[in-house]
Amino acid sequence: AQKVTQAQTEISVVEKEDVTLDCVYETRDTTYYLFWYKQPPSGELVFLIRRNSFDEQNEISGRYSWNFQKSTSSFNFTITASQVVDSAVYFCALSEANNAGNMLTFGGGTRLMVKP
């Protein structure tokens, strides 16, 4: 069965610091998809990124970057020069291709607090 672990339940940083959110996953499938979502205080989940298991190329989008390593089953998320608006709960999620519905298995989330 699939599983996603976000060992960091809460992280607090000061604005402009870099911060990395860890995500480790378990799956028996060779084809799967990994996601990160942001849940700000308003509560609505915001899609950030989708990565498929065949694409290990790291991705950068502005201050966000993602490091996917199949060898360690990790899909870590780094925010560079954090800002107060980055304060939110961040969820890593997994879906397996052989699961027709592609329903998501979520980690427990990491609450990021960025202080001014």
Is position 76 an interface residue for another protein (rule: CB under 8 A)?
no
From CA 76, how far away is CA 6, in angstroms rounded?
A: 10
- Give the range of 18-26, 58-66, 69-77, 95-103 binding another protein by CB under 8 A: 95-103
Is position 103 an interface residue for another protein (rule: CB under 8 A)?
yes
Is position 102 an interface residue for another protein (rule: CB under 8 A)?
yes
Residue 108 main-chain phi, psi, to 5 deg: -75, -10
Provide the b/e sequence for 61-87 (b: ≥16 CB within 10 Å): eeebbbbbeeeebbbbbbbeebeeebb
Is position 105 an interface residue for another protein (rule: CB under 8 A)?
yes
Is position 90 an interface residue for another protein (rule: CB under 8 A)?
no
Residue 43 main-chain phi, psi, to 5 deg: 100, -20
Using CB under 8 A, which residues numbered 42 to 61 contact another protein? Answer: 42-45, 47, 50
Is position 95 an interface residue for another protein (rule: CB under 8 A)?
yes
Nearest to 113 by CA among 49, 55, 40: 40
Residues engaged in binding another protein (CB under 8 A): 4, 33, 35, 37, 42-45, 47, 50, 91, 93, 95, 97, 100-109
